Amino acid sequence: MGDDEAYAQVYKQHFQKLFIYGVFYSSDRDVVKDCIQDVFVKIYNKRRGLSSTDNIFLYLAVAVKNSIINAVKKHNRKVQYLEAVDEQSWEDEKTPESLYIDRETQTQNHLTLDLLLSQLTDRQRGIISSRFIKGMSISEISEEQGVNYQSVSNIIQRSLIKIKALIKK
């Protein structure tokens, strides 16, 4: 298999998982897709100088996560600036400190969610992502996954019970 064929195979094999992983860091699907594309373009352009890895998905996931975080930070700076102008015009009392605390709280929430979801199996994470991030119905998930309706319901319930138990710890 040639380099280009192997590259295309890696892309096809990992895109969906990277997308699911990426939506935990940004709910903007277009940003996630763009970041995945950016990572693969960078890898392709630097393919000669890259060293091998034992876990390509982990390598890609970290690269995509960093790309998304950078994109969100870049975007948030613009949004926060616009919000600050709007808030000043309405004489809102948002201070730089409260904006910083809001950002830090959001970052901590994402880290906590990532930690909780990492405790689930791949199937549980995929179904939870489909249900609560993509907003799919149980019937749609059942059809997409090729699993019966009751199994999807059971997986969701078990996953939520596990997450609640982890939160209590």
Q: What is the CATH number of the domain that holds 123?
A: 1.10.10.10
Query: 2 in a domain, yes or no?
Result: yes
Which residue range(s) make up the domain with 82?
1-102
Query: 109 in a domain, yes or no?
Result: no
The per-residue pLDDT for 58 is 82
Query: 113 in a domain, yes or no?
Result: no
Q: Report the C-alpha gap between 106 and 21 in whole angstroms.
A: 17
State the average pLDDT for the chain.
Answer: 80
Asked whether the predicted pLDDT for residue 79 surpasses 70, the reply is no
Place of tokens 């390598």: 59
Q: Band the pLDDT of 76: cuts 50, 70, 90.
A: low
- Two structure tokens written together for 136: 């799919």
Q: Band the pLDDT of 109: cuts 50, 70, 90.
A: confident
Q: Which of 102, 132, 151 is the last residue of a domain?
A: 102
Query: Which residue from 62, 63, 33 is spatially nearest to 46, judged by alpha carbons?
Result: 63
Q: Which of 47, 75, 102 is the last residue of a domain?
A: 102
Q: Band the pLDDT of 84: cuts 50, 70, 90.
A: very low
Question: Do residue 92 and residue 151 come from a single domain?
Answer: no
When mean pLDDT is compared across 3-7, 66-70, 84-88, 137-141, the lowest value belongs to 84-88
Q: Band the pLDDT of 98: cuts 50, 70, 90.
A: low
Q: Is 128 left (phi over 0), alpha (psi -120 to 50) or beta?
A: alpha
Q: Render the burial of 42-55: b for 16+ CB within 10 Å, e for the rest.
A: ebeeeeeeeeeeee
Number of domains in the chain: 2
**CATH number for the domain that contains residue 61:** 1.10.1740
Asked whether the predicted pLDDT for residue 82 surpasses 60, the reply is no
Question: Do residue 46 and residue 82 come from a single domain?
Answer: yes
Question: Do residue 84 and residue 10 come from a single domain?
Answer: yes
Mean pLDDT on 3-11: 84
